[in-house]
Amino acid sequence: MIPHTTPACQTDSWQKTLQQAIRDPAELLALLELPRELLPAARRAASRFPLRVPRGYASRIQKGDPADPLLLQILPLQQEMQTTPGYHADPVGDVAAMPLPGLLHKYAGRVLLITTGACGIHCRYCFRRDFPYAAARPDQGEWQAALDYIAADTSIREVILSGGDPLSLSDARLAELVQRLEAIPHLQRLRLHTRFPVILPERVNRKLLTWLARCRLQKIMVVHTNHANEIDRPVTEALRTIGKQGVTLLNQAVLLRGINDNPEALCGLSESLFTAGVLPYYLHQLDKIQGASHFAVEDATAVDLLQQLRQQLPGYLVPRLVRELTGEAAKIPLESRNFL
Ligand SMILES: *Cc1c(COP(=O)(O)O)cnc(C)c1O
Ligand code: SF4
């Protein structure tokens, strides 16, 4: 399943596949045999945050079902246009937590690098949908300032590559960045926050596996999956291949109304993840980003769902239900006394 490597000058096959992603709402509706009446609103919502879905992901969506749990993650809807009080453009205070462009240092011992604004898919609930990537991104892949910052602070043990999606970058650029990171002696861990193995399993190619295997740091990959239907056979194979490289695999999901806000969906997700060698890590309460309020689930409902999961699953398959709050030293567990 691992494609042969191609010379550096050529476009990799995953890049070609990604270029063919669906961007036109009319094409998506026709392909999935959905009512044409959805089109005007889809066009309006897509003009604010464009539609983007790889064809392989779209093929996992049930045709003719407007409530499909994968469709609802990617289809621009009229509800995105409504303004909801309490919802913002930067709900988690990320812009304030950047000591330099592209570097977030909110929590002890770890920093997060915004490596790119690009993603392989556009998730309608994304808390970074309005993020000012142009201002936050280091110019022309110039990592020097971020690397100097990390090298100067020996309390930093772990670097998280995030975005956007770091696996949007070419393997040549990633390998170079990782090489420069591993030269910083006090760094122990490299973490990748990516949705690529789930939305475009072809991304897990030999080049990626090669630089991952070479890196001296302990590696953690946190993928992002919200529903078991996202995990088909090629996704399972891609994740298992990454696991074989000695990478610890974790998942973060977002609790989304109408998508995974029931015990069956969440149990199914945990089971399918584990089949692919991935442990559930976080289940996030939605960040209050403007345009996503229709996905929100009440805190009391969320806590109740978690209690049901705990009755049905082994403890290691129950994710931590958390919310990110501006100014806190970590993500906050919802079941703690802070909330109840
Ligand atoms: C979520 C997040 C992290 C990682 O937090 P963990 O609890 O270690 O998963 C680090 N930095 C920022 C800015 C984050 O938002
Ligand atoms: S892949 Fe992640 S960062 Fe990109 S749109 Fe989806 S949720 Fe947002």
- Ligand 2 probe mutation, 73, 90, 133, 195, most atoms within 8 A of CB: 195
- For each of the domains in the chain, give its residue range(s) and CATH number, in order of start: 14-339 (3.20.20.70)
DSSP state, 289?
Answer: B
Q: Return the ligand number nearest the Cα of 98.
A: 1
CA of 162 to the centre of ligand 2 (A): 10
Residue 246, Ramachandran bin (φ over 0: left; ψ between -120 and 50: alpha; else beta): left
Q: Does any ligand 1 atom lie closer than 6 A to the CB of residue 104?
A: yes
Residue nearest to atom 3 of ligand 2 (CA): 164
Q: Return the ligand number nearest the Cα of 110.
A: 1
Q: Does any ligand 1 atom lie closer than 6 A to the CB of residue 330?
A: yes
Q: Does any ligand 2 atom lie closer than 6 A to the CB of residue 289?
A: no
d(CA 140, CA 176): 14
Residue nearest to atom 6 of ligand 2 (CA): 123
Q: Does any ligand 2 atom lie closer than 6 A to the CB of residue 128?
A: yes
Query: Parallel, antiparallel, or unpaired: how do β-strands 218-224 and 103-107 relate?
Result: unpaired
The 10 Å CB-count burial string (b at 16+, else e) for 83-99 is eeeebeebbbebeebbe
d(CA 117, CA 131): 9
Per-position pLDDT tens, the chain of length 340: 455 554 555 789 999 999 999 999 999 999 999 999 999 999 999 999 999 999 999 999 999 999 999 999 999 999 999 899 989 887 777 877 788 989 999 999 999 999 999 999 999 999 777 776 666 666 555 789 999 999 999 999 999 999 899 999 999 999 999 999 999 999 999 999 999 999 999 999 999 999 999 999 999 999 999 999 999 999 999 999 999 999 999 999 999 999 999 999 999 999 999 999 999 999 999 999 999 999 999 999 999 999 999 999 999 999 999 998 888 889 999 976 555 4
d(CA 266, CA 264): 6
CA of 46 to the centre of ligand 1 (A): 29
- Ligand 1 probe mutation, 90, 128, 131, 160, most atoms within 8 A of CB: 160
CA of 201 to the centre of ligand 1 (A): 25
Structure tokens at 234: 């090629």
Contacts of 236 (CB under 8 A, 6+ apart): 272, 275, 276
